[in-house]
Amino acid sequence: MPALIEIERLTKRFGAFTAVDDVSFSVARGEVVGFLGPNGAGKSTTMKMLAGFVTPSAGTARLCGEDVLERPVAAKRHLGFLPEGAPTYPEMTVAGFLGFVARVRGFGGAALRERVAHAMRLTTLEGVRLQPIETLSKGFKRRVGLAQALLHDPPVLVLDEPTDGLDPNQKREVRALIAAMAPEKAIVISTHLLEEVEAVCTRAIIIARGRVVADETPAQLAARGPDLDTVFRDLTLPAAVAADPGAAPGTVTEPA
Amino acid sequence: MRAVLAVARRELAGYFATPVAYVFIVIFLVLSGSLTFSLGNFFARGQADLQPFFGFIPWLFLFLVPAITMRLWAEERRLGTIELLLTLPIAQWQAVLGKFLAAWAFCAIALALTFPLWITINVLGDPDNGVVLCGYLGSLLVAGAYLAVGAALSAATKNQVIAFVLAVAVCFLFAASGSPVVTDFLSQRVAAFAEIARSLSLSDRLGNFGRGVVDARDLVYFASFIAFWLFVNTVIVDARKAD
């Protein structure tokens, strides 16, 4: 079975600056990939290219076999995407907003109501369904963004910092939700939280300065050093990356 | 088409969820009414028609329509929702068209709310309602033309003030290019341009509608004018969406 997400030599340059440099990986059904890296490493840009929002300078990506550059609309049908910061229309109510997303995705009538209700149930938004989104707390807003991404039960989920701004209980709920969906889907989440990778991810990809510096299971990653924090620091600190990759302890540029 | 309508429906509801819609409609109605009655000598003319009203509409729209369009794309960028909208399974032209249709429908609502003027002339006299309808059609087409220009320019800049000023300037160019001042000036110097300027002019086309003449050439002109600017809009959105 082909991987649901295939990223092929994806590169994005902004002028002289290379934000994403020749990134390739694929994600199969049942995998939850944690996309890690310091701020500005190219996580969001990679995800935006995957979602068809940013046009790559080179390379391409496929979602369920559909090329995001050649058949963008078909590719996006398979995708649930939570953009960075979970943007939503502030003046709309939760139900109104999810209804809009469902309509754009081609649902109508009873199917639409069922989808919206299901998405709100998954993210426990029923209590605020008629509230304007701008009146909600940060955690609720994030969950509205999540509900929007899950609404059509997509085979591919790309979530940019899904737990950012949530309290510990909400974080646990979202992780449980991701874990529950994992067997059916290919999921990529970006995060700063190393504990999140250990909690939900089956695989961790670390990116620094636009390049993939590690691609292995969280356990393998942790086994490289005393703890994940140290491993992460060694892999992503500018000094370690700038130097010859072979010279930095524990740095591997190719997946094992 | 379904996706286009979903986008349009959300946009239109968005106007009425904020004070934008009410402020716009009230100001439009007050200005169009007062200009028609005071400057337009509505009663003193002694004619049961809406000629002065339709004369003022394009100049009112020149300032009011860019006020609607300036936030069309700039607001999506500011909120980051452009990323959400353009990663839904719709083509960019569908998003562009949906937004345009919503803004156009909104202008149609504002125009329709001037119906008391139409009632007034029907009470006072025996107007040719075909000509009145024609005038409304022309006004709606001018609104569509200005909207298409303004929407495209709104996609080109993040700054709403710049989007407004540019839209007013470009719309004015098309509104004024048929005026005697411009064409006389051009025909004395570069005669070839005078004819081009006149044929590009929005106001000349509108004059025909005001007289109750619906010419297929005018309809084609407006349709291609709007289609051209929507195409420009799509290209700009595609090029600058992630900036």
Q: What is the pLDDT of residues B16-50, one digit of tens each?
A: 988 889 999 999 999 988 888 888 777 777 777 78
Interface of B with A in 149-178 (CB under 8 A): none
Interface of B with A in 49-108 (CB under 8 A): 79-81, 83-84, 86-91
What pLDDT score was predicted for residue B13? 92
Domain ranges of chain A: 1-78+155-256, 92-153
What pLDDT score was predicted for residue A238? 64
**Number of compact structural domains in chain B:** 1
Give percent of chain A with pLDDT exceeding 90: 54
Locate the chain A residue with the closest alpha carbon to B86: A53
User: Residue A93 in 3-state DSSP?
Assistant: strand
Say if B46 is an interface residue toward chain A (CB within 8 Å). Answer: no
pLDDT, greater one: A237 or A78: A78
Say if B2 is an interface residue toward chain A (CB within 8 Å). Answer: yes
Q: Is the pLDDT of residue B85 over 70?
A: yes
| Interface contact B14-A92, CB threshold 8 A | yes
Q: Which residues of A219-253 are buried (b: 16+ CB within 10 A; e: fewer)?
A: eebbebbeebeebbebbbeeebbeeeeeebeebbe
Alpha-carbon distance of B228 to A116, in angstroms, equals: 37
Alpha-carbon distance of A155 to A232, in angstroms, equals: 30
Show residues of chain B in contact with A48, CB under 8 Å: 83, 242
Q: Region B48-54: what's the mean pLDDT?
A: 81
What pLDDT score was predicted for residue A67? 92
B65, B150 contact by CB (below 8 A): yes
Lowest mean pLDDT among A197-211, A219-233, B14-28: A219-233
Domain A1-78+155-256 has CATH 3.40.50.300: yes
What pLDDT score was predicted for residue A170? 86
What pLDDT score was predicted for residue B182? 76
ipTM over 0.95: no
What pLDDT score was predicted for residue B188? 80
Q: How far is B80 from chain A (nearest CA, A)?
A: 6
Q: Is the pLDDT of residue B179 over 80?
A: no
Hey, how many other C-beta atoms are within 10 angstroms of the C-beta on B197?
Answer: 22
By Cβ distance, the residue of A72, A79, A104 closest to B6 is: A104
What pLDDT score was predicted for residue A244? 45
What pLDDT score was predicted for residue A239? 55
| Interface contact B84-A104, CB threshold 8 A | no
Q: How far is A197 from chain B (nearest CA, A)?
A: 25
Mean pLDDT taken over chain A: 87
What pLDDT score was predicted for residue B210? 79
Q: What are B187-218's pLDDT values in tens digits?
A: 787 777 777 777 778 877 887 887 888 888 88
Q: Is the pLDDT of residue A38 over 90?
A: no
Domain with B7, as residue range(s), is 2-240
| Interface contact A103-B6, CB threshold 8 A | yes
| Interface contact A91-B18, CB threshold 8 A | yes
Q: How confident is the model at residue A198 (pLDDT cuts 50, 70, 90)?
A: confident
pLDDT, greater one: A120 or A139: A120
Select from A13, A89, A151, A153 the residue whose CB has the most chain B CBs within 10 Å, as the one to mutate to test that interface. Answer: A89
Alpha-carbon distance of B208 to A132, in angstroms, equals: 46
What pLDDT score was predicted for residue A1? 55
By Cβ distance, the residue of A53, A76, A148 closest to B241 is: A53
What pLDDT score was predicted for residue B46? 73
A66, A2 contact by CB (below 8 A): no
What pLDDT score was predicted for residue A131? 93
| Interface contact A104-B79, CB threshold 8 A | no
Q: Is the pLDDT of residue A240 over 70?
A: no
